[in-house]
Amino acid sequence: MDQTEKRRHRMIGTARNRVNFPLLFPLLIFLLFVSSCARNPVTGKREIALISESQEIAYGKEAHPEILAQFGQVEDKQLQSYVQRVGNELAKISHRPDLPWTFTVVDVPVVNAFALPGGYIYFTRGILAYMNSEAELAGVMGHEIGHVTARHAVSQMSRAQLLGLGLGLGSIFSPTFRSLSDIAQLGVGLLFLKYGREDEEQSDELGVEYMFKAGYDPREMSNFFQVFQSMQEESGEAVPSWLSSHPSPPDRIEATAALAKKYLASVDASSLKVNRPDHLSRLEGLVFGENPREGFTANGVFYHPELRFQIDYPDGWNVQNSKSAVIFVEPNGRAAIQLTLAPQDSSPEARAVSLGRQQGVQMVDGRRVQIDNNNAFLAAYQIRQASNQVIQAIAAFISYNGHLYQLVGMAPSNTYRSYSSVLQQGVTNFRRVTDSRILNVTPDRLRVVRASGGETLKQIASRYSDSRVSVEDLALLNRIDPNQRLESGTMVKIVEPGQRPGS
């Protein structure tokens, strides 16, 4: 996470005994440094650490359920057990084998992997879909384990505390939403810690080391980085996920390939694990891309087939959909509407009143209403932020189908009038879905097929002419040239299209 570093210097003195603070300050920093240093588990060097290992584990333990609430986990016990098993193999030969290591596949389509302090590692289903072997999984896993063993996040957190900056682990949306939502704070904020190039290079080195010591072919790590390079080349810009905070793929391919060559000089490469067939078979049926069951947009309407509701949103506004919230944002960020589920143990009116009692929040108006024949409560609020900026909000609390929905539209007070009608319409157009075409949508899924002798990927793709995935994308998914003749029985990933409205 980008943070503005500010140093505050305070002159301390009295008429009788004035202290020269500029001379004292380095001594204070030195004493603090000495008293709070610890040996880095990887390098063995002493470094500043204001966060103990027990505190580090506590951070991860507290954040883990928040991460799952925000992103959800893939409901596939065999896949989760597989990833945990591979993770355990690497963790036990790492520099910190005694951490409570937890490895989880989260239900997110973007290509990403990340780690939290204390041994909590996450892979999106998006990144798993592009992995073609267990060794590739081990390579990325080793990299993320390296961030934890080298205490990269802890070092950043310690530096921030030393400078009095704090982590600023707020909502990923804005401080405004913290007052009117139950979105997790700590876990999501930790994801936005960005590591420097030295940290990333060290994690790459540790990733190659760990996968090799666990018996995997280290060449598979640099092979997988080719996926990111291809994505970058095709899109013309860095993919806003794993690439956004990592060194460029060409540098990493070269560096990790050189490390692999060094390790392979002492062993027979044929004795090392790759495990392509077993890995691919575990991806069978994995949801690929966005899952429309959990929300999708069409013609200015957001639909949620699983929860059976729909909402019209303002023309041109951006939509951010996650497990715990849907956000509609004005293109210039001047106004927004947020939808979340509120606790079910209260009525619409009771929920509205309780929010109005929070510090800095004042409910200025409220009334019972019916929204799409559902009991609801409509309330207006003023929210005073720490900066003394005032936010105005209108919120609808709707009891529907066993849930209490909370729709909040807001904007700064100096621009609220311009958006008030749009926001009021936005929070009150919640309604049920009755169209069977919407209710019956299904996601695209990965399928693993075997090639006939001499068959090409292009020919295999032609069997699935209704697929929404191009041959070029399938080539990247498999890292196979579309016109390459394949040996009989070669396993190939294809994307089986799900059902969409009108399909």
Taking only the tens place, the pLDDT of each residue in 410-431 is 999 999 999 999 999 999 999 9
Q: Give which of 170, 190, 179 is closest to 390, Cα–Cα.
A: 179
pLDDT at residue number 296: 95
Strand pairing report for 120-124 and 102-106:
parallel
* Confidence category of residue 5, pLDDT binned at 50, 70, 90: very low
Question: What CA–CA distance (Å, rounded) separates 196 from 295?
Answer: 35
**173-219: pLDDT as tens digits:** 333 334 343 323 344 444 445 677 788 888 899 999 999 999 999 99
The CATH number of the domain covering residues in 443-496: 3.10.350
3-state DSSP call for residue 198?
Answer: helix
Domain 292-438 fold is Protein Transport Mog1p; Chain A (3.40.1000)
For residue 150, name the pLDDT band (cuts at 50, 70, 90). Answer: confident
Instruction: Determine the Cα–Cα distance for residues 481 and 456; give it in Å rounded to an integer.
Output: 8
Q: How far apart are CA 410 and CA 384, in angstroms?
A: 12
pLDDT at 130: 95
- Edge-first strand order for the sheet with 444-450 is 287-288, 444-450, 491-496
Q: What pLDDT is attached to residue 251?
A: 79
Sequential DSSP letters for 103-131: EEEES--SS-EEEETTTEEEEEHHHHHT-
- Residue 203 DSSP SS3: helix
Other beta carbons within 10 Å of 384: 15
pLDDT of residue 28: 36
CA triple 188-193-195, angle to 5 deg: 150
The residue extents of the domains of the chain are 53-275, 292-438, 443-496
Question: Does residue 138 or residue 163 have the better pLDDT?
Answer: 138
CA-CA-CA-CA dihedral for 219, 221, 222, 225, to nearest 10: 160
Let me know if the fold of 292-438 is the same as that of 443-496: no
Higher pLDDT, 207 or 21: 207
> How does the average pLDDT of the chain come out, rounded?
81
Quick: pLDDT tens for 152-168: 776 666 555 444 433 33
Integer CA distances (angstroms), 274 to 50, 172, 277, 451, in order = 40, 38, 9, 20
Q: Per-residue confidence at 503, pLDDT binned at 50, 70, 90? A: low
Q: Which of 110-124, 149-163, 194-208, 374-388 has the lowest mean pLDDT?
A: 149-163
Q: Count of residues for the chain?
A: 503
Q: Between 465 and 300, name the one with better pLDDT.
A: 300
Q: How far is CA 471 from CA 30, 338, 448, in A?
A: 60, 38, 15
d(CA 300, CA 79): 36
